[in-house]
Amino acid sequence: MNPPSALARSAKRVVMFALAIGLVVVAWELYRNLGPDKGGKVFGWTVLPKANARVMPSVADILGRFADPLGRGGEAMWWFLTKSAWYTLQLAFLGFLIGSLLGIGLAVVMSRLRIFERALMPYLVISQTVPLIALAPLIAGWGGKLSLFGWEWQRWTSVVTMGVFLSFFPVALGTLRGLKSAPAASVELMDSLAAPWRVTLVKLRFPAAVPHMVPALKLGAAGAVIGVIVGEISVGLRGGVGRPIIEFARQFSSDPAKVYTAILAAAVVGLVMAMLVSAFDAFLMRRRPKEAVA
Amino acid sequence: MNPVDAVAGDGAAEEVGATAAADAVVLRGVSKHFNTGRKGTVHALDDVDLTIRRGEFVSLIGPSGCGKSTLLRLIANLIEPTAGEVVVNGKPARQARRDQDYGMAFQQAGLFDWRTVARNVELPLEMKGWDKARRRERSAEMLRMVKLDDFGRHMPWQLSGGMQQRVAIARALASHPPLLLMDEPFGALDEMTREHMQAELLSICASQGTTVVFVTHSIPEAVYLSDRVVVMSARPGRITEIVPIGLGAGRDDATRDRPEFFAGVTAVREALRGVEGMAAMGGVDDR
Amino acid sequence: MSLRLRQVSAAALPPVVFGLLFFGAWEWAVRAFEVEEYFLVPPSKILSTFADNWSLIWESVQVTGANALVGLLLGTALGVAVAFLLMSFRSLDQVITPLSTAVNALPIFVVVSVFSNMYPATSEMPRRLMVAIVIYFVVLVNVARGLRNVQPTHLELMQSYAAGRWAMLRHVRIPNAIPFLFTALKIAAPMAVITAFVSEYFGGAQNGLGSRITASLGGSRKADGWAYVLAACLLGIVFYLISITMEAVATPGGTEHQHRGRSH
């Protein structure tokens, strides 16, 4: 409500988040030490995961692994993963950017022409219920074989395409809902001022759409990360965090802490993308009442 | 469980209450402060005395923040007073709440979307542990009373706002409590429905002999309904004047044209004008 | 009756026409430009492959479907249980809820690569556990919100009846949370399929839809891959349809009006 409490609130959020992380660490260490070594059976069905030190390294071991070299010799793990995460982040961001712009564009067209909305809406809804990610291996095959207007289709392009694909649909759906959420009274006001469609779009519909678009953009950002990581794995693209996760998982029996470092790197990519959307949100909503955001 | 619950029949609760005290509600030196002891202490109510007789209809009116809703919630024992004593139906307010000696209606009908209309009316009876057959019988009776006999099996969201509010009143009166507490129950209704509901409320309460404490923003509503209008001021919340209304029993649409009605409206308006900062607050509806 | 029929067909016409145009253009483009199979397979060939290989496809649909379903049930049960726990312990809620929201932003499914090493190689548990964890957070956040965000009027009403915690829970909080649970399931059901599917890319038993798609691409039978993709889409749609049917049955009149101050 008033400025100091806003600061206090965000400070509290940080503290709570730190506490939450702490809770996860405690839960991890507890299960590691108290859980069943060989995995737990419930009604003869192996349900609980194994909890011995080979499978669940201590948090300290995992953090320590960042400082060690990648393999026998080579660069330090933290440096390798920072580079990998940065590469994946770039691909994810590019996919998210293109996918969002396309999604927003489609939503504008759909809000303008009812026939498009009626024709496409069911497919947008369905798109949220099917594993679009299934297309990743198929698109992966395009790398190195396809050329468009003299430009060779690269392997990383397949990866970005998956990011585009997974962020496009939620953003289109959320933006359309947002554009249609402008209050009827405000639309009538703009009509009474004989405002052209374009003016109503910019001055009324987009500002009204922001609260709907932000969750959609968050879904889109998460989708882009998923698309890019799975894409990297399907394509076999090196340089990102996708491959290390698979490769390190294979070395699990000899070096269990290793795969966890790669997983944490992937988590950082997801978090950074979410934070970018949050920052964008905070910027757009800086003069709106806080209740409208929540 | 307690003696009042054990006795079936309509007048039983009232008789027990009547032997205990002649007055329905007594407030003695009641204060309510929020954020006590801190920098932003709000004196929502300061040293309020008020006695409401049995069968009386009393309205609380005043600018926003005058504590009229707080006063109602103190009577309902939904909040505890900082100082002073609240006696309801001859008992401490907390005991009266435990015994369900009052029914309450709010600005939102507050019906449960997941229950039929009839089962909404039965809710307070369920809480009292009545058996199913008796609950059914009573809810049918109450729905008849609010002229919604045919809607028992409907879901609340299928009803209009006015009908929902009538269900809420039926629910509040389902256990035939001697006291009805209402917090701007008609505030969200349109003017036509509102006047209609006011007339219905009066006839229902007259037939049951119910005491009513009624919070409102509207001067004509307060005058039309009440035997006495309690005018309050804000910061700190206090009773500034109690205006008696001489309209007598048997009010109808014609009542709104009688000189006594206009006299009452004028008297309440005058009293409110005396309230400092009234104009700035703009809290009272002059309709 | 006929009016209703006309309304339905009027609503269905544009998407059907669009669908026909889209797949028609796809079919035509592949034939006209003799597009190679590694790029696109014509819809007609996908359909015929789907029909020819139905028994094989059905096997892998069952595997992925079972993983999704078991994970969905496990995660829902866990989410509901923890939501009740959080309601009783407010301070815990302040820690868990932001964490659960943050998890939505993470590519959490990569953890399955660890789970695969925690179970025997043939076990389906890693994928089921992965689905359960993803669903758990969705259900937890929504149900906790439903248990908490009750109308103030309802609380005061119950308080005026001197209702205890249990009565409050039974008459107000639980009924209030039910539409939220079904909203969560509507999101969670397709998500369970997607997670079960993606998890198969990270090693473990190779008998589900995801593994089949990857496997069929190694050879030259690209159409098989597309047929499996079609099966995966159908599985997701079936899960979604079941969840919205359940919602319609459990909350007659729709959930929209019951969600006051809903956010998402």
Tell me the per-residue pLDDT of C154-191, one tens digit each, with 9 for 90 and over. 999 998 898 888 889 999 999 999 989 998 998 899 88
Q: Does the CB of C161 have a partner CB in chain B at under 8 Å? A: yes
* Torsion (CA) A57, A225, C15, C227 in degrees, nearest 10: -60
If asked whether residues A181 and A129 sit together in one domain, one would say yes
Count of structural domains, chain C: 2
Domain residue limits at A3: 1-56
The neighbours of chain B, by the rule of 3 or more Cβ pairs under 8 Å, are: C
If asked whether residues C29 and C50 sit together in one domain, one would say no
Domain residue limits at C23: 1-35
If asked whether residues A25 and A107 sit together in one domain, one would say no
State pLDDT tens for residues C241-259: 999 888 888 776 554 444 4
Report the range of poorest mean pLDDT among A227-231, C5-9, C185-189, C248-252: C248-252
Q: Does the CB of C252 have a partner CB in chain B at under 8 Å? A: yes
If asked whether residues A197 and A287 sit together in one domain, one would say yes
Q: Are B111 and B157 in contact (CB under 8 A)?
A: no
If asked whether residues A25 and A63 sit together in one domain, one would say no
If asked whether residues A177 and A78 sit together in one domain, one would say yes
Place of tokens 């957070």: C137
In this prediction, residue C253 carries a pLDDT of 58
Tell me the CA distances in angstroms from B158 to A167, B152, B154, B192, C254, one per residue in order: 39, 11, 7, 20, 12
- What residues of chain B have any CB closer than 8 angstroms to a CB in chain C? 73, 76, 78, 97-98, 100, 102-104, 106-108, 110, 112-115, 123-124, 126-127, 155, 157-158
Quickly state the pLDDT bin for C262 (edges 50, 70, 90).
very low
If asked whether residues C96 and C13 sit together in one domain, one would say no
Please report whether residue C263 resides in a domain: no
Of the candidates A130, A140, A184, A188, the one whose C-alpha atom is nearest the C-alpha of residue A161 is: A140
If asked whether residues A5 and A71 sit together in one domain, one would say no
Which residue among B108, B155, B158 places its CB closest to the CB of C153?
A: B108
If asked whether residues C31 and C79 sit together in one domain, one would say no
The residue out of A37, A56, A75 marking a domain boundary is: A56
Structure-block tokens of residue B28? 């003695």
If asked whether residues A122 and A39 sit together in one domain, one would say no
In this prediction, residue B162 carries a pLDDT of 86
Whether residue C172 and residue B78 make contact (CB cut-off 8 A), yes or no, is no
If asked whether residues A32 and A88 sit together in one domain, one would say no
Count of structural domains, chain A: 2
Quickly state the pLDDT bin for B236 (edges 50, 70, 90).
confident
Which residue among C115, C203, C214 places its CB closest to the CB of A49?
A: C115
Shortest Cα distance, chain A CAs vs residue C159, angstroms: 27
Chain C: residue whose CA lies nearest to A146: C39
Shortest Cα distance, chain A CAs vs residue C161, angstroms: 32
DSSP string, chain C: -HHHHHHHHHHHHHHHHHHHHHHHHHHHHHHHTT--TTT---HHHHHHHHHHTHHHHHHHHHHHHHHHHHHHHHHHHHHHHHHHHHHH-HHHHHHHHHHHHHHTTS-GGGGHHHHHHHS-TT-SHHHHHHHHHHHHHHHHHHHHHHHH---HHHHHHHHHTT--HHHHIIIIIHHHHHHHHHHHHHHHHHHHHHHHHHHGGGSS---SHHHHHHHHHHSS-HHHHHHHHHHHHHHHHHHHHHHHHHHHHHSTT-SGGG-TT---
CATH number at residue C103: 1.10.3720.10
How far apart CA C161 and CA C80 sit, in angstroms, is 28
Provide the mean pLDDT of chain B: 83
For the ranges A131-145, B130-144, C109-123, the maximum mean pLDDT occurs at B130-144
If asked whether residues A80 and A104 sit together in one domain, one would say yes
If asked whether residues C30 and C50 sit together in one domain, one would say no
Mean local confidence (pLDDT), A52-68: 79
Place of tokens 């979604």: C240
**What percentage of chain A reaches a pLDDT higher than 70?**
86
Helices assigned H by DSSP within chain B: 3-6, 12-20, 68-75, 93-98, 117-127, 132-145, 161-173, 191-208, 219-225, 259-273, 278-281
If asked whether residues C162 and C243 sit together in one domain, one would say yes
Please report whether residue C264 resides in a domain: no
Shortest Cα distance, chain C CAs vs residue A75, angstroms: 24
If asked whether residues C26 and C129 sit together in one domain, one would say no
In this prediction, residue C185 carries a pLDDT of 92
If asked whether residues C128 and C225 sit together in one domain, one would say yes
Chain B and chain C share a number of CB contacts under 8 A equal to: 56
If asked whether residues C31 and C149 sit together in one domain, one would say no
Which residue among C159, C171, C258 places its CB closest to the CB of B113?
A: C258
CATH number at residue A149: 1.10.3720.10
Please report whether residue C231 resides in a domain: yes
In this prediction, residue B75 carries a pLDDT of 93
Which residue among C157, C176, C253 places its CB closest to the CB of B104?
A: C157
Q: Are B182 and B213 in contact (CB under 8 A)?
A: yes
Quickly state the pLDDT bin for B228 (edges 50, 70, 90).
very high
Q: Are B27 and B75 in contact (CB under 8 A)?
A: yes
Whether residue B158 and residue C253 make contact (CB cut-off 8 A), yes or no, is yes
- The reply to whether the predicted model has a pTM over 0.90 is no
If asked whether residues A31 and A126 sit together in one domain, one would say no
**A10, exposed or middle or buried, with CB in 10 Å at 0-12, 13-18, 19+?**
exposed
If asked whether residues A111 and A25 sit together in one domain, one would say no
Window 104-123 of C: residues touching A by CB (8 A cutoff) are 104-111, 113-120, 123
**Mutate: best of C104, C110, C198, C239, partner A, most A CBs <10 A:** C110
Shortest Cα distance, chain C CAs vs residue A192, angstroms: 31
Shortest Cα distance, chain C CAs vs residue A126, angstroms: 7
Q: Are B25 and B195 in contact (CB under 8 A)?
A: no
If asked whether residues C60 and C132 sit together in one domain, one would say yes
If asked whether residues C111 and C195 sit together in one domain, one would say yes
If asked whether residues A35 and A151 sit together in one domain, one would say no
**A213, exposed or middle or buried, with CB in 10 Å at 0-12, 13-18, 19+?**
buried
Chain B residues with CB-CB distance to C153 below 8 A = 106-108, 110
Please report whether residue C157 resides in a domain: yes
Please report whether residue C183 resides in a domain: yes
Kind and range of the H or E run holding A5: helix A3-34
